């Protein structure tokens, strides 16, 4: 696909409904169902030194989300994957030194032609967008200092149960997660939520998976109640290579309060050490030894010092 001539040299581009155009010229209708009702799905994967990481896996998950939500963009996943890579290839040279992108892929049910279309929803062309956003890694630096880590708070808001909406689909409407995050920040402005399901079992955070370590074993909450993140999948694969046992189960606050260490996994920061949960410190100062091993292994996998990159961005930000 040829890049639109409206994109000038040194300017980021996006994919929008079949065309690659200048980012500054991209716009969506105010009647788009994604804007009005959050009627859509999305996925996102990052780069390392401008190189795409597990983007194919993110495209596959996007297509699973579309199948679940009855969305069809009329294009095979392999073809869409090539368009995503084209956007990344164009934008990668425009990264600032030491920077990286989160490449986001969004699909909505499209523009509603009339008010009655709310009751149809299957006969409108979908809106399809792919764009690259620079990741602000500097904001995470303080959580990687010795004996630090991200604070987590367990909010009263519970994760939407799979009986109502499958958490495995990456849907655009995130209010359930946002309300939980607002509750956590009411307690501690730096905190992220650690959400429970309706039965009181640990699920996930606002936009990241949660894992913890006890007696040398890496534990992950039962995946029936949480989005199965590609970053969590990467961690479990690295743990297997490192000989770290992994168990999946149903865990309560009691289990995580008594953990030796814990962390979040996400496409932006990869592995984020957790320092406290509801003001309960982990048994090991964050980042714990298993967390460090996993961070080192991920850095080796992608050829980038993950923590070093975060700290470098923080130093650059502080000197501007």
Report which of 221, 158, 223, 248 is spatially closest to residue 195, judged by C-alpha positions. 158
Q: Do the beta carbons of residue 151 and residue 115 sit within 8 Å?
A: no
Phi, psi for residue 137 in degrees, rounded to 5: -75, -25
Domain ranges of the chain: 13-135, 140-319
HEC-encoded secondary structure of 209-250: EEEEEECCEEEEECHHHCCCCHHHHHHHHHHHHHCCCEEEEC
Question: What are the 10-residue block averages of pLDDT along the chain, 320 residues in total?
Answer: 59 97 96 95 97 97 97 97 98 95 97 77 86 96 93 97 94 95 97 97 95 97 90 97 97 98 97 97 96 98 97 83
Q: Do the beta carbons of residue 290 and residue 158 sit within 8 Å?
A: no
**Cα(174)–Cα(191) distance, integer angstroms:** 18
CATH for 13-135?
3.30.470.10
pLDDT of residue 121: 58
**Cα(265)–Cα(200) distance, integer angstroms:** 21
Task: Determine how β-strand 150-153 pairs with β-strand 192-193.
Answer: parallel
Q: Token digits for 74? A: 């009329």
Q: Do the beta carbons of residue 155 and residue 277 sit within 8 Å?
A: no
Crossing angle of helices 77-91 and 55-68, in 10° steps, is 130
Task: Determine how β-strand 40-48 pairs with β-strand 51-52.
Answer: antiparallel
Q: How many CB atoms lie within 10 A of CB 207?
A: 17
Burial class (CB in 10 A: 0-12, 13-18, 19+), 22: middle
Q: Is the CATH code 3.20.10.10 the one for domain 140-319? A: yes
pLDDT of residue 6: 63
pLDDT, tens only, 19-59: 999 999 999 999 999 999 999 999 999 999 999 999 999 99
pTM of the model: 0.93
């Amino acid at each position: 696909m040829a890049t639109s001539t409206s994109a000038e040299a040194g300017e980021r581009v996006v994919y929008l409904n079949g065309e690659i155009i200048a980012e500054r010229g991209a716009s969506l209708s105010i009647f788009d169902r994604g804007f009005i009702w959050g009627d859509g799905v999305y996925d996102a994967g990052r780069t390392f030194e401008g190189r795409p990481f597990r983007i194919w896996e993110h495209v596959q998950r996007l297509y699973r989300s579309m199948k679940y939500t009855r969305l069809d963009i009329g294009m095979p996943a392999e073809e869409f994957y090539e368009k995503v890579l084209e956007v990344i290839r164009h934008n990668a040279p425009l990264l600032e030194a030491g920077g990286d992108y989160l490449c986001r892929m969004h699909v909505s049910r499209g523009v509603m032609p009339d008010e009655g279309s709310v009751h149809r929803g299957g006969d409108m062309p979908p809106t399809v967008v792919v764009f690259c956003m620079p990741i602000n890694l500097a904001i995470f630096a303080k959580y990687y200092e010795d004996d630090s880590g991200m604070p987590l708070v367990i909010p009263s808001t519970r994760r939407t149960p799979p009986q109502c909406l499958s958490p495995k689909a990456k849907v655009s409407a995130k209010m359930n997660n946002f309300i939980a995050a607002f509750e956590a920040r009411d307690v501690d402005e730096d905190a992220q939520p650690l959400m429970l399901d309706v039965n009181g079992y640990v699920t996930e955070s606002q936009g990241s998976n949660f894992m913890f370590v006890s007696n040398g074993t890496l534990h992950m909450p039962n995946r029936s109640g949480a989005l199965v993140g590609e970053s969590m999948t990467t961690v479990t694969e690295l743990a297997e290579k490192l000989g770290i046992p992994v168990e999946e189960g149903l865990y309560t606050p009691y289990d995580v309060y008594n953990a030796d260490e814990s962390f979040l996994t996400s496409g932006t920061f990869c592995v984020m050490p957790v320092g406290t949960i509801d003001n309960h410190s982990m048994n090991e100062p964050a980042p714990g030894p298993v967390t460090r091993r996993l961070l080192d292994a991920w850095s080796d996998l992608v050829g980038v010092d993950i923590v070093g990159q975060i700290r470098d961005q923080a130093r650059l930000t502080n000197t501007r």
